[in-house]
Amino acid sequence: MDFEIIKPADIEKRSFAIITEELGDRVFPEEIGLVVKRVIHTSADFDYADNLVFSEGAVPRALEAIRNGAHIVTDTNMVKAGINKKTLAKFGGEVHCFVADADVAEEAKQRGVTRSTVSMERAAKLDVPVIFAIGNAPTALIELDRLMREQDLKPELIIGVPVGFVNVVESKELILQSQAPHIVARGRKGGSNVAAAIVNALLYQLVHREGF
């Protein structure tokens, strides 16, 4: 078996070069391209070159929010596990995920709603600027939409990339039609890995820009 002899630190650079080459004529503004390419890097799925939708100015606004210490709320512990928390901490941010909390499960059961719905309500009470990274639960996006309309929640960014077959496409369309700054994977695809990759793509851009 022939392996390419390459230092661990160079693997990512080489991977991004391959992705750029295979994207061919598909050229993106740099701030967006770095996100798109990291998502392809984490999935080997070039469909994301077509289905990722960025609202106007979403990336620069998110970078500014992170630089000012915004926190990140995820819908699952898997997204939380994938985020580079050390890098986020350099800017003062933390990652929160309420979905596995025992009292969230209890409340969801009593009210007959999903744990994701309850965990978004908890997140809305954080008194810091927040970026939401949703990789699994359409009900999290539905609840965020409600909180924005009814309780004036103003997220710094919604990363809306749940994956799946039931209510997923529709929940993402809600966010696409909202006023919230967003990065959404239109259609069925997405996932924890995609949500974490988008957050990390933002973090690494900021590190690069700030010269950390």
Query: What burial class does residue 112 get, using C-beta atoms within 10 Å of its C-beta: 0-12 exposed, 13-18 middle, 19+ buried?
Result: exposed
Residues lying near a copy of itself in the complex (CB under 8 A): 1-4, 6, 8, 11, 14-15, 18-19, 41-45, 76-78, 80-82, 114, 139, 142, 163-168, 170-171, 173-174, 187-193, 196
The upper half-sphere exposure of residue 28, i.e. CA atoms within 13 Å in the direction of its Cβ, equals 20
Q: Which residues contact 32 (CB under 8 A, 6 or more apart)?
A: 54, 59
Give 114 or 119: the residue with its C-beta nearer to a copy of itself. Answer: 114
Give 14 or 208: the residue with its C-beta nearer to a copy of itself. Answer: 14
Q: How far is the CB of 174 from a copy of itself (least distance, A)?
A: 5
Exposure string of 113-136, with b = 16+ CB inside 10 Å and e = fewer, is ebbbbbbbbbbbeeeebbbbbbbb
CA 212 to chain CA mean position, Å: 22
Known active-site residue 41: yes
Give 67 or 188: the residue with its C-beta nearer to a copy of itself. Answer: 188
Of 189, 133, 192, 185, which Cα lies nearest the Cα of 158? 133
End-to-end, the C-alpha distance of the chain in Å comes to 39
Q: How far is the CB of 36 from a copy of itself (least distance, A)?
A: 15
Q: How far is the CB of 132 from a copy of itself (least distance, A)?
A: 18
Please identify which residue in the block is written with the tokens 């744990």.
Answer: 115
> Using CA atoms, how far apart are residues 16 and 22, in angstroms rounded to an integer?
10
Q: Indicate which residues carry an active-site annotation.
A: 41
